[in-house]
Each structure stands twice: as C-alpha cells, then as structure tokens.
C-alpha cells in the first residue's frame, strides 16, 4: 500500500477494563465497562436471502477503480461468483481522519456483503471515495449496486451501562484530549466520552499551527516577538472584550504547551508561520499535516499508558448533579441505550463550539448587526458532530453563557462545502485575494472578521486566493490540509497557469484589472519601489522574516475560489482562571470544568488565527489538572 504518512494507530479503541489509579475520595474508583458498551456496530447483514442472491451475483475476478477522497485512491476488489472476497486500497488519506476509514470500511463491506454503510462524519470525502470505488468495481463485475446499497448493518441493541472513573471528560477533540492526558499524568483514571467514531473534533481538521512564543528565546529575537506582544495583539485583536486574566494565561503558558507536546513526542517545524488572521509570525507548525500530530501524540500516550479510555459513539446528554455539584454525565449510546458515567473527581466539558448549529448561531446573533444573516446558506468549516451540545447541557445545569454573539467567519471556505479543504494558502505572507472583477479588496494580512466582512461586499461573496511558486516551488507540495496542490488542480478545485494572463483567462476575470492589481501589490514586496510601505488597504505584511516570498511574480501561478464560512464561536460557558464553570450569579459550579471552544471570553470579538489550538492545550491541561484535584 502506498502511504505518504506514518500510520496512525487505529483511533477506535475497543472497550477495556481500566483500573483506578488514584481516587479523589476515599473509595477506590472502579471502571467497569461491559464489553457491549463500546463494541463497534455489528455488521451482520440485515438483508433477506433473496436480496443477497440478487445483489451478490458477480463475474468472478479482480477489478479496479479510481476514486477521489482527500486525494486519488485506487480501489481493487476481488469477487467470487457470489461474494466480495477482498478489497485493497492504495491511498494517501490523512492519518487520523481518512486513514482510519480506509482501514475499517473495507472490512465492514466484506463482512456485510453490502454497501449500506454510513459515511464517517469528518471523513466524508474518504468514506464516499471508498464506497464509490467499490461500487464501481461491483458494476464492472456485473453486480447490482443499488441492491448492495440497500443492504445495511443490523443494529444490535446495546444494554444500559454504568461506568466510573476519577475524571470524566466530555469530547475527544483538542481540549478534551489535552485534559484527559493531563489528568492521566496526574495519576487519575480517565474516561473520555466521544460522540463520533474517532477523536479529533474540529481540531484535527484545522491547519494545525498554534501561536506560542518563549520570551528571550532565539526564535523570539529573530521574529521580534514576546509574550507581551502576543497578549496585546490577542486582546486588541478581539476589541478588548476578552477577559484579560484568561488572555494572560493563554499567552503566558503557550510555550509550556509546546514543551508538553514535544514531551509527548509531537514534532514541530523550525520556522513559525503567519496563520491567516494571526497577525504575527508565531504559529508553531507541526510536522504532521492538519491537526493530526496532536492526536497521534495522544493516541501514543493512550497506547503506552493504562487508565485512559475513550468511549466512542456515545453522546453526552445531561449532567448528574448531586448537592449542587456535578458528579457525572448521562449519555446516549449508539443504539439509544443509556450510558451513565460517574466521576470520583471532576467532570471536564470539552464539546467544542456551535458554528455548525444554525439555530443556535442565529439565536446568538439576535440584536447584533455585525454579520449578514448566518442561516444555512452560509456553510461552516465545522465537522457535523460539533453542534453546541455542551453549551446547552451546561446552561441547563445553571452555567452562565457569555459573549455568544462573538462568532468568527473566515473568508477561506470551500465554495461547495464551506470546509477548509482546498485552501491553498500556506502563510498569510504570500497570497492576495481577488474578486470577480479582478481587483483586490482587503488587507489579506488583517483580522479575520475584517477580511470576511469585506468579502461579503464582493460580487457573489466570492473571491480567488492567488499566489505564485514561492508557496509551491516544486508543485508537488501539500497545502496545510494534507492535499497535494497538483491533485487539487487536477480535480478542478484549484487553478495553475504559466502566466498571469493565462490565469486571468482561466478564472474569467478581466485581465487588465487583474494584472494591474498584482503589479501594484508587487511594488510593496521585497525589491519593489514601495517595499515595506503599507498599501491602499493598509496591508503591511508582504513577506516573512526570511524574505522567502517576494511578490507574485514567479510562475507557475495558482488560484482557488473561496467564500465566507462560519468557523469559530468565541462565546460560550463562562469559566474562571481555574477553568471552573461559573453560574449566572458568578459562583463556581462544584465539580464542573470546561475548556476549549465550548467556553467564552478568551478571544473577545475576533480570534487571532493560531490561538484556538493554543487554547485547547493550555486550558485543556488546566481543566484536566484541576478536575483531578477536585474533592467533594
């Protein structure tokens, strides 16, 4: 099998019995998980015999098809006269996102002898590619694709169960896994409840870079950076609406988060990047694509240590509250069964934001005129499992919600899906935005909200991101989302041309305006007659510290269409410096901690690009540590 990445250990963790390592109360913690609780969906075919016969009549042999997931994959299927006997994939899907699907789906299809399998949320492209590739082979073998699609796995009802651990974490995304690993490092047993089939949430789909600076370090000196500058840019970049004490925690502890991740085995590139809307070259970039590096590190930790279990396919519904303290969570298992999870110590809420919940975001924006109506026509970068559940649960338990109207959009969404897939920008130093009239319209190095508001004023709310070979010197490089630029071009999701004139023609924008826009931009780049001077949009970011980018002047030239997309919700559950959740009177809700996008008040009106991942590690760890030390 052709793989371009290291193989990520399967993220679906089978049910295991984990012993308590240390209890917060006098009684020992017990984690008894009946095996049925996290068993993968049983894939017994629910079809009738006649259906099987009709569907399973093939011309024996081996057939191949090419399908497109994140990248092209080759699907090879072997048939006997009445069965699918083998499926092989040659793929380069992203570790932790598409790769687990490529491992699990072929097995499910063979076991089921059918194609009625659900796509995996967050990995829809990969899931669909596997299903389409196999369907193509079925067709070639003379099988009945529609009949196979009608064959679905039989759902075997699971029993109600109860589990206990020292610390219970809800949500296996960035903040939840940081909390879980930290609590485990404190010697506690930990259960993480996760709604989907794999860990990662929106964090794994992100560009991966996170802002952090170590005062006085060589890197800080080289990039003229400091914790104070990070603080000031974050606080001012959110219009000073964030809670200053939380911003200080974020920026003061950013670098210790890097060290902690390195101790867990995560690797970073030597040179920081300027994340779009990040305002400074301090985005620490993982070696692994997207946010996969974090979860490879967390999964390795789980594999090497006992006492941390992730329970998948389980959705938290409400908190267990005893004597005003949160002592656990009631969840719904995959088949509608009840899974009750009790904590000897604290419960950490880390279910992410609500950008993907149209109803909630519309409600949050009532009375605010910052954005146009954010109804379902405006898509989101978020995975479909992150829908503000934790915010609703916390509110029901008396939590105070703050700054819910602070919603972030990006100008970088895929025109069809709203996702960040197909975003060809590497760092904000090297690209410009062009509207359908061939003109620039904003400061591409500016704040995310300003850029997106400017995009909403353009024809069809649509723009092209333009760059040259400074970003893709060989043409074989990946974007920040693990996609090969050439694959995106082949798929018609990006454009590549040997001259700017040719690119203008491909995009259908007026050539004169397009060439003039680029000529004017280049005057401000290294070597231009206005080098370093702000341009008409106030842009001051024309290259990086290494002066690697020197304007848009070296073929081949690249472009990709982009639209506004809802990305991050900065409002949410109110917390204090200890990540304890506060009620509407400002009192701590005993036993309940929260971290990550579910919380509010860390970013203010606008979040700097690259600060969200810092938030997940810094506040996730604080929550994990404090939940470990909580005693009732």
Binding site for ligand ADP (CB under 6 A): 170-176, 193-196, 201-203, 315-316, 350-352, 385-386, 389, 596-598, 616
User: Cβ(148)–Cβ(138) under 8 Å?
Assistant: yes
Report helix, strand or coil for 130. Answer: helix
Exposed e or buried b per residue across 133-156, where buried means at least 16 C-beta atoms within 10 angstroms of its C-beta: bbbbbbebbebbbebbbbbbbeee
**DSSP secondary structure letter of residue 597:** G
Shortest distance in whole angstroms from residue 11 CB to ligand ADP: 11
Q: Exposure of 109 by Cβ count < 10 A (0-12 exposed, 13-18 middle, 19+ buried)? A: buried
Structure tokens at 624: 């994990």
Shortest distance in whole angstroms from residue 585 CB to ligand ADP: 25
Comparing CB distances to ligand ADP, the nearer of 357 and 461 is: 357
Report helix, strand or coil for 111. Answer: helix
Comparing CB distances to ligand ADP, the nearer of 171 and 609 is: 171
Q: Which residue has the tokens 């990662």?
A: 200
Q: Which residue is nearest to ligand ADP (CB)?
A: 173
Shortest distance in whole angstroms from residue 330 CB to ligand ADP: 11
Q: How far apart are CA 50 and CA 39, in angstroms?
A: 29
Q: Exposure of 336 by Cβ count < 10 A (0-12 exposed, 13-18 middle, 19+ buried)? A: exposed
Structure tokens at 370: 């910052």
Q: How far apart are CA 280 and CA 274, in angstroms?
A: 5
Shortest distance in whole angstroms from residue 211 CB to ligand ADP: 15
Identify the sign of the CA torsion 102, 107, 108, 114.
positive
HEC letters along 200-259: CCCHHHCCCCEECCCCCCHHHHHCCCCHHHHHHHHHHHCCCCCCHHHHHHHHHCHHHHHH
Comparing CB distances to ligand ADP, the nearer of 125 and 316 is: 316
Comparing CB distances to ligand ADP, the nearer of 315 and 486 is: 315
Question: 41 vs 86, 121, 124, 202, CA distance in Å?
Answer: 21, 15, 18, 24
Q: How far apart are CA 512 and CA 506, in angstroms?
A: 14
How do beta strands 315-322 and 210-211 pair?
unpaired
How do beta strands 588-594 and 347-349 pair?
parallel
Shortest distance in whole angstroms from residue 316 CB to ligand ADP: 4
Shortest distance in whole angstroms from residue 243 CB to ligand ADP: 17
Comparing CB distances to ligand ADP, the nearer of 210 and 495 is: 210
Q: How far apart are CA 361 and CA 243, in angstroms?
A: 22
Shortest distance in whole angstroms from residue 167 CB to ligand ADP: 15
How do beta strands 283-284 and 210-211 pair?
antiparallel
Comparing CB distances to ligand ADP, the nearer of 56 and 352 is: 352
Shortest distance in whole angstroms from residue 79 CB to ligand ADP: 36
Comparing CB distances to ligand ADP, the nearer of 69 and 176 is: 176
Task: Give the catalytic positions in this structure.
Answer: 448
Comparing CB distances to ligand ADP, the nearer of 211 and 517 is: 211
Q: How far apart are CA 23 and CA 445, in angstroms?
A: 50
How many angstroms from the chain centroid is the CA of residue 462?
A: 23
Comparing CB distances to ligand ADP, the nearer of 202 and 517 is: 202
Shortest distance in whole angstroms from residue 606 CB to ligand ADP: 17
């Amino acid at each position: 099998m052709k793989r371009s990445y290291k193989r990520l250990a399967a993220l679906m963790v089978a049910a295991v019995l984990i012993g308590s390592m240390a209890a917060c109360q006098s009684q020992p913690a017990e984690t008894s998980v009946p095996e049925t609780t996290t068993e993968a969906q049983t894939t017994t075919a629910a079809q009738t015999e006649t259906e099987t016969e009709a569907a399973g009549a093939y011309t024996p042999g081996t057939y191949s098809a090419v399908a497109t997931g994140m990248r092209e994959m080759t699907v090879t299927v072997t048939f006997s006269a009445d069965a699918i006997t083998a499926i092989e994939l040659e793929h380069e899907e992203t570790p932790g996102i598409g790769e687990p699907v490529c491992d699990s789906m072929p097995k499910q299809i063979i076991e089921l002898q059918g194609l009625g399998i659900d796509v995996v949320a967050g990995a829809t492209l990969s899931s669909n590619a596997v299903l389409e590739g196999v369907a193509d082979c079925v067709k070639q073998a003379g099988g009945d694709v529609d009949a196979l699609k009608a064959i679905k796995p039989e759902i075997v009802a699971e029993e109600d169960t109860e589990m206990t651990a020292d610390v219970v974490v809800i949500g296996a995304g960035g903040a939840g896994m940081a909390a879980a690993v930290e609590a485990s490092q404190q010697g506690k047993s930990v259960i993480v409840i996760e709604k989907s089939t794999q860990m990662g949430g929106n964090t794994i789909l992100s560009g991966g870079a996170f802002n952090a600076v170590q005062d006085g370090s060589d890197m800080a000196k080289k990039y003229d950076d400091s914790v104070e500058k990070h603080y000031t840019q974050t606080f001012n970049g959110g219009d000073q609406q964030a809670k200053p004490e939380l911003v200080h925690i974020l920026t003061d502890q950013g670098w210790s988060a890097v060290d902690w991740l390195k101790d867990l085995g995560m690797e970073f590139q030597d040179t920081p990047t300027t994340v779009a809307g990040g305002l400074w070259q301090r985005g620490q970039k993982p070696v692994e694509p997207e946010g996969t590096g974090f979860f490879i590190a967390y999964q390795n930790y789980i594999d090497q240590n006992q006492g941390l279990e992730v329970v998948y396919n389980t959705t938290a519904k409400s908190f267990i509250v005893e004597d005003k303290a949160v002592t656990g969570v009631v969840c719904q298992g995959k088949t509608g069964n009840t899974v009750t999870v009790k904590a000897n110590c604290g419960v950490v809420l880390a279910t992410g934001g609500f950008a993907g919940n149209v109803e909630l975001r519309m409600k949050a924006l009532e009375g605010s005129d910052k954005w146009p109506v954010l109804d379902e026509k405006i898509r989101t970068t978020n995975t479909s499992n992150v829908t503000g559940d934790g915010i609703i649960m916390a509110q029901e338990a008396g939590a105070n919600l703050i700054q819910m109207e602070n919603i972030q959009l990006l100008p970088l969404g895929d025109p069809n899906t709203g996702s960040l897939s197909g975003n060809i920008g590497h760092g904000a130093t090297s690209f410009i935005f062009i509207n359908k009239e061939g003109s620039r319209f904003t400061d591409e190095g500016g704040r995310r909200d300003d850029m997106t508001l400017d995009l909403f004023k353009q024809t069809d709310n649509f723009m092209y991101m333009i760059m040259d070979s400074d970003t893709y010197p060989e043409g074989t490089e990946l974007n920040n989302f693990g996609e090969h630029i050439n694959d995106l071009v082949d798929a018609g999701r990006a454009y590549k041309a040997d001259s700017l004139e040719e690119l203008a023609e491909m995009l259908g924008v007026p050539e004169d305006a397009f060439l003039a826009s680029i000529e004017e931009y280049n005057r401000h780049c290294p070597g231009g007659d206005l080098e370093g001077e702000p341009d008409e949009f106030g842009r001051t970011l024309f290259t990086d510290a290494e002066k690697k980018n020197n304007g848009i002047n070296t073929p081949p030239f690249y472009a990709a269409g982009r639209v506004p997309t809802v990305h991050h919700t900065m409002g949410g559950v109110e917390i204090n410096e200890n990540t304890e959740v506060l009620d509407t009177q400002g009192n701590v809700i005993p036993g309940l901690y929260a971290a990550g996008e579910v919380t509010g008040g860390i970013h203010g009106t606008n979040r700097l690009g690259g600060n969200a991942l810092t938030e997940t590690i810094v506040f996730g760890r604080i929550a994990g540590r404090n939940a470990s030390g909580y005693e009732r």
